[in-house]
Structure 1
Amino acid sequence: MDWKPHAAALARAVVRPSSPWYQPVVDTPRHLYVPAWFTAGPEGWTRTDGPADEEAWARAAYTDQTLVTQVGPHHADRAGPRPVAGAPTSSSTLPSLVVSMLTLGELSEGHRLLDVGTGTGYSSALACARLGDSAVTTVDVDRYLTEAAADRLASIGQHPMVVTQDATEELPDEYDRIVSMVSVPRIPASWLSALRPEGRLVTTIAGTGLILTADKTDDGGATGRIEWDRAAFMQTRSGADYPPRLDALFQKIRAQEGKGVGVSPFPVLDIMQAWEVWSALTLHAPGIEHRTGIDDNGTRTSWMLHADGSWARAETMPDTRTATVHQGGPRRLYDLLDQIRWHWIENGELPVYGARVVIAPNGTTTLSRGSWTLTL
């Protein structure tokens, strides 16, 4: 494949020519990092083999899009022609977001970088092109991912340190910058221990669209803010797959009458598309699983499920602006959602974006903005 014109076109689409990340995008053959990927369909995730159709391969690899490379424990490199089921567990993130995260890291020559979440190795390749191999360490919990990424990096002459381990555990070195391409529920204490004085970390908060940047402080903690930009990554995991979805609870309550039945003044919301509301809800009640559906009559339904047994189901009929809400379990999840939506309407915004961040040396992370404060 004559990939260089494609990489140059991708660079023009995702980064300004004046950016120090422009040339790394131009010089990096992204297609080598994604020789196969999955596409979602009605029967599951279907594998696409890149070399089988080089034109389609180039079009996919050099478009600013995320390519899912692993579903559950099934990696596209090793999958057969039959569709697989599950949730994505690794991908080649859209290049514009990778560049944005690296840019927020404020990297310069001489900095040592820890790239958290090796994935395909593309972010490490960009970092090596900018900083040099010896300045880059990349870590992932999945051995196949690290081994495949190391091979692909080596194929273009790059040899960063590639480590297979849980990134939330003790890290193998010290770094000036930690940039994470996976999300965390709070900042691991190991990151702060490994971050050098005046070091900087960049990550996203699990289950939200919030990017957190923070600079190390003299006490071993860090201070920073939630950026105004938004992004979401897969969450860190400790095994080959994420914990199973709450399918049993969903089947139990899918059409069940709730112990608490009420009417919301708001129509059903696709929470996952309302980033500000979704992020605020996750901060206040982490771990909620969201599902939505529309029946043949046009009734919109949303379900909220939690591992503690709490659940909610809301339905908005066609041509109505309210929702009938059924709730059960120890907490009233939909009441919390409505409180957040009222705050949004009454104040014109939620306090999550732009919030100040204070991180203690043990990783305890507190967000605040105005009179609002919350500890993860």
Structure 2
Amino acid sequence: MKDYQVPDYLIDETHLTFELFEDHSLVHAQLVMRRNPEAGAGLPKLVLDGQQLELLHLKLDDRELGEGDYSLTDSHLTLQPTQERFVVDSSVRIHPESNTALEGLYKSGKMFCTQCEAEGFRKITFYLDRPDVMSKFTTTVSAEQHAYPVLLSNGNPIASGSEEGGRHWATWEDPFKKPAYLFALVAGDLWCVEDSFTTMSNREVALRIYVEPENIDKVQHAMDSLKRSMKWDEEVYGREYDLDIFMIVAVNDFNMGAMENKGLNIFNSSCVLAKAETATDAAHQRVEAVVAHEYFHNWSGNRVTCRDWFQLSLKEGFTVFRDSEFSADTHSRVVKRIEDVAYLRTHQFAEDAGPMAHPVRPDAYME
């Protein structure tokens, strides 16, 4: 943590275009960049993170770069800017269909989806993949229309259309700066449950939960939980949702419980699907708590994010406190407190007494 240094460069705008195919995907990225005024004088080399990427094309401003103009390793792309403000254009080929690590862009069944926290975005394109580099994202997704009729990304939808060969595209714009770990993309044949929420400033927000067709009857509890969470955050913290649409997608193959990507939360199906006929009371409470937690991250984690991953406990600890208070206010505060203490005794105390013990906020880590 003591070795932290501010980034040499910042990314003001990120423009992404995805061309999704069954045996590969193409990612075109345009990064509008500038020298970080807090990083000192001069123009140091620009070092972009990137793993498992096949570089097809690279430009700096309007100049095509050949192999002698940059350095490429298994983990970084390095080039030399010539001015304080510049644009980097790149095209890469990736393979979501064979991505079994479930980091970056991958396929879950017949669906494309992403997981970028903590460092998955570098498996999508070359980027400054660190939480203190925040950028405005515009994302265009193109895919075969019959297999992938639903194309989603962060922010608000601004355009869509058809292409030759049975393909179609959609463009999403996120007006709020965010770090790369909050990027999300979903493409698939999904069914949707829709509702709306009227904010405290009388603005209507569209709410959508996307699932595979066989799960469409198991999402109403999650939708009701989302609306209660939005109302509670307004009443208790004065935090109003800031986009025109909020989406949740249920994914069967997901290496986390849920992920708070800006405006497009992605959930493991087990954390969002529940109905009275087949789920226990405890399962319903878990869905409510996880939906609330990820929604609350919109402010405690997304709009106000962490400087580096040593600060993970700040965004997560505060948001866990917020979802615990929500559960206590919604149900029984006494019962919630007993449940939290019981969990600490059975899980946290056991970890702290064993070989995996560690500080909540460590000073260092080993890869």
Scaled by the length of structure 2, what TM-score is found? 0.31
- Higher relative contact order, chain-length normalized (CA < 8 Å, sep 6+): 2
Scaled by the length of structure 1, what TM-score is found? 0.31
